[in-house]
């Protein structure tokens, strides 16, 4: 079975898998040994290759330099024939008429002829050519050249030495020297033309040997490790999937009876009996705990969505306080202020508000054995609910607060084992407040802690933005005509002008032509999908315009990927008007007001 898995892994293994596996495995002892072994073999392979390349380069450069010197020698040898004729010409001219100019030219040509002769005899090319040496020494060319120079320098020299057969014989021997030298140089060039391909083949052979003897075994070894890690990764992913499925199934199983309890109790709330109200509050709290586990999973995967509903704020506060008022220990220590002054009906994310405030209360009861005070206050102009939780405990460490702001779970499980809740602490509250457009501020000293939570709440008469208020233009990127119509109508009711396109390519063109305050982006579209379009908006166009992903997909991986590449938020279809309104207020209207 393992072989079958490995065979499948070989087929599907990608570069991303390679990088992902190495990142998680590079610190292991096996990978460290493999790295050292790889470095050692690579060093020797590179050294051999460098030696071969340097040797080839030195040989070629030396050969080129020798050819340059040979060309100079051949050029001077060819010049000797011309100079011998020039000497004869000037000698005859001087004999016919005593002209100082001709005498000077004769002297210069004679001196040049003599110097060239000495240079040729001392050159390496001549010394390495037995035929040329035979011409100069055995056949007497050296002596005749020197005699020719002496005669040219004498005024009484016979003219027969500079014409006729004697001059022709000298010219033929000088020409023979040039011919032999050119032949010798040509042989060197042919030799170099043969050696260069051989050196190239040697370098190629060296590379092939290094691949076969060094890198190929390493490749097989690394591949075997990666295939094994691939299998282990698949096993881990399977275990994670089983855990997630178990959590989802258990949550569903718990939610079913809880929903029945709430329905039965809610049908009797008209009687107004305090016991029923308390039971209803506890049931709602149990519902919140189950939802809390689900929210943790969504926050980690980036698939969090707000749940805006219409409900009495007083009823929400009762659900918050019910678990703490049920126990006499916490009931005596808890004081509540501002509950009765809250609006009767309001639209907000009530369920997440219950989770957040209960986390703050749980945190307060953890850190103090004395009184805990909670204050509720609704600010009409801003539409924000303020919840302040105070205690006089030992305070919270700054490092813990900073960790919570980064959405890290940092509580010691043993420390909070006897407290109810999912034990997510302030990290969950920070994350929830940020997602719904609120905020959390904590001031903690050694004498107590004050946590202030602000939460967006819309009363019924202000649940929508006035249609007459204009906030700018929104680009809707959606291929479904019905969804286009719904999104456009919702945005227009909130005071925005809308432009509709069918795919990502059209969206990029529109963004190049016009400035938009926001983009509503579908995930699955023809030509270019939402994720690819978001990447180009952020990287190629370098725009910071808010982008809300609008999708009916349940693929948590793709939704999380969209957040990673630059989406500001995710809206699930069908889009809730209040969710869209809250996001536009947070990312568009408020930002425009402060800019």
Which tens digits make up the pLDDT trace of 59-118? 778 777 777 787 777 888 778 778 777 777 777 776 655 567 777 777 888 888 888 878
d(CA 10, CA 389): 57
Q: What is the DSSP secondary-structure string of 207-265?
A: HHHHIIIIIHHHHHHHHHHHHHHHHHHHHHHHHHHHHHHHHHHHHHHHHHHHHHHHHHH
Report if residue 292 sits inside a domain. Answer: no
Per-residue model confidence (pLDDT) at position 536? 93
Report if residue 245 sits inside a domain. Answer: yes
Q: How far is CA 224 from the centre of its chain?
A: 27
**Token digits of residue 99:** 């002209």
Q: Which segments of 368-438 does DSSP mark as H helices, in order? A: 398-405, 425-436
> For the chain, how many structural domains are there in total?
3
Which domain-ending residue is among 444, 461, 478? 461
Report if residue 473 sits inside a domain. Answer: yes
What percent of the chain is predicted at pLDDT more than 70? 73
d(CA 419, CA 408): 19
State whether 51 and 161 are in the same domain.
Answer: yes
State whether 149 and 223 are in the same domain.
Answer: yes
Maximum distance among all Cα pairs of the chain, rounded to whole angstroms:
154
d(CA 566, CA 99): 96
Report if residue 345 sits inside a domain. Answer: yes
Report if residue 260 sits inside a domain. Answer: no
Q: What is the DSSP letter of 100?
A: H
Per-residue model confidence (pLDDT) at position 143? 80
State whether 490 and 428 are in the same domain.
Answer: no
Q: What is the DSSP letter of 149?
A: H
CATH of residue 535's domain is: 3.40.50.2300
- What contacts 8, CB < 8 A, 6 or more positions away? none
Per-residue model confidence (pLDDT) at position 190? 75
List beta partners, residue 569: 548
d(CA 228, CA 222): 10
Report if residue 263 sits inside a domain. Answer: no
Per-residue model confidence (pLDDT) at position 419? 35
d(CA 415, CA 396): 13
Phi–psi pair at 245, nearest 5 degrees? -65, -40
d(CA 99, CA 379): 122
State whether 45 and 107 are in the same domain.
Answer: yes
- Given a cut of 90, is residue 315 above it in pLDDT? no
For residue 77, count CB atoms less than 10 angstroms from its CB and return exposed for 0-12, middle for 13-18, buried for 19 or more: buried
Average confidence (pLDDT) over 354-363: 85
State whether 493 and 538 are in the same domain.
Answer: yes
d(CA 594, CA 480): 35
Are 511 and 543 in contact, with CB atoms under 8 Å apart? Answer: yes
State whether 496 and 428 are in the same domain.
Answer: no
pLDDT by residue (tens digit) across 276-311?
665 666 666 666 566 666 666 666 666 666 777 777
Per-residue model confidence (pLDDT) at position 510? 93
**Token digits of residue 560:** 């999380």
- Reported as a pLDDT band with limits 50, 70 and 90, residue 490 is confident
State whether 447 and 514 are in the same domain.
Answer: no
Q: Domain range holding 382?
A: 307-461
Which domain-ending residue is among 443, 461, 479? 461
State whether 449 and 504 are in the same domain.
Answer: no
pTM here? 0.38
State whether 7 and 109 are in the same domain.
Answer: yes
Per-residue model confidence (pLDDT) at position 462? 44
State whether 473 and 530 are in the same domain.
Answer: yes
Which domain-ending residue is among 223, 250, 277? 250
Report if residue 287 sits inside a domain. Answer: no
Q: What is the DSSP secondary-structure string of 542-577?
A: -----EEEEE----HHHHHHHHHHT--EEEESSPPH
State whether 541 and 451 are in the same domain.
Answer: no
Report if residue 311 sits inside a domain. Answer: yes
CATH of residue 376's domain is: 3.30.565.10
State whether 442 and 498 are in the same domain.
Answer: no
Edge-to-edge strands, sheet with 448-456: 334-337, 372-379, 384-391, 448-456, 439-445
């Amino acid at each position: 079975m393992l072989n079958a898995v490995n065979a499948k892994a070989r087929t599907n293994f990608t570069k991303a898998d390679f990088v992902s596996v190495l990142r998680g495995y590079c610190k292991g002892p096996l990978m460290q040994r493999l790295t050292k072994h790889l470095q050692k073999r690579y060093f020797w392979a590179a050294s051999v290759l460098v030696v071969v390349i340097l040797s080839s380069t030195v040989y070629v450069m030396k050969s080129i330099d020798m050819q340059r010197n040979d060309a100079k020698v051949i050029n001077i040898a060819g010049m000797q024939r011309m100079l011998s004729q020039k000497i004869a010409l000037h000698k005859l001219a001087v004999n016919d008429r005593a002209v100082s100019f001709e005498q000077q030219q004769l002297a210069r040509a004679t001196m040049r002829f003599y110097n060239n002769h000495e240079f040729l005899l001392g050159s390496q090319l001549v010394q390495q050519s037995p035929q040329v040496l035979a011409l100069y020494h055995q056949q007497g060319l050296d002596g005749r050249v020197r005699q020719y120079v002496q005669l040219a320098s004498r005024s009484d020299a016979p003219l027969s030495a500079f014409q006729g057969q004697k001059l022709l014989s000298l010219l033929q021997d000088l020409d023979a020297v040039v011919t032999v030298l050119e032949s010798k140089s040509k042989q060197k060039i042919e030799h170099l033309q043969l050696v260069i391909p051989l050196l190239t083949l040697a370098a190629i052979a060296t590379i092939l040997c290094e691949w076969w003897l060094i890198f190929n075994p390493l490749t097989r070894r690394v591949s075997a490790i990666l295939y094994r890690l691939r299998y282990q990764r698949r096993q881990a992913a399977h275990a994670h999937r089983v855990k997630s499925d178990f959590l989802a199934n258990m949550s569903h199983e718990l939610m079913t009876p809880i929903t029945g309890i709430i329905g039965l109790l809610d049908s009797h709330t008209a009687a107004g009996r305090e016991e029923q109200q308390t039971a209803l509050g506890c049931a709602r709290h149990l519902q919140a705990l189950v939802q809390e586990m689900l929210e943790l999973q969504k926050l980690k995967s980036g698939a969090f969505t707000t749940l805006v509903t219409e409900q009495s704020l007083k009823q929400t506060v009762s659900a918050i306080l019910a678990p703490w008022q049920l126990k006499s220990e916490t009931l005596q220590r808890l004081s509540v202020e501002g509950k009765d002054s809250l609006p009767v009906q309001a639209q907000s994310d009530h369920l997440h508000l219950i989770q957040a405030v209960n986390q703050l209360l749980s945190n307060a009861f953890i850190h103090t054995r004395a009184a805990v005070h909670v204050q509720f206050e609704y600010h009409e102009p801003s539409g924000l609910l303020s919840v302040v939780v105070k205690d006089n405990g030992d305070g919270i460490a700054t490092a813990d607060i900073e960790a919570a702001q980064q959405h890290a779970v940092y509580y010691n499980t043993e420390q909070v084992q006897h407290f109810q809740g999912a034990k997510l602490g302030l990290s969950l509250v920070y994350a929830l407040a940020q997602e719904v457009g609120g905020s959390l501020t904590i001031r903690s000293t050694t004498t107590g802690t004050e946590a202030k939570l602000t939460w967006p709440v819309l009363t019924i008469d202000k649940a929508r933005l006035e249609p007459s208020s204009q906030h700018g233009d929104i680009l809707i990127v959606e291929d479904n005509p019905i969804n286009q119509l719904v999104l456009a109508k919702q945005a227009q009711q909130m005071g925005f002008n809308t432009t509709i396109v069918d795919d990502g390519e059209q969206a990029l063109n529109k963004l190049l032509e016009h400035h938009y305050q926001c983009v509503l982006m579908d995930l699955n579209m023809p030509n270019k999908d939402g994720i690819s379009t978001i990447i180009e908006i952020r990287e190629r166009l370098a725009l910071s315009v808010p982008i809300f992903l609008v999708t009916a997909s349940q693929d948590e991986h793709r939704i999380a990927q969209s957040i990673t590449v630059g989406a500001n938020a995710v809206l699930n279809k069908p889009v809730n008007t209040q969710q869209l309104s809250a996001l536009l207020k947070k990312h568009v209207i408020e930002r425009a007001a402060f800019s």
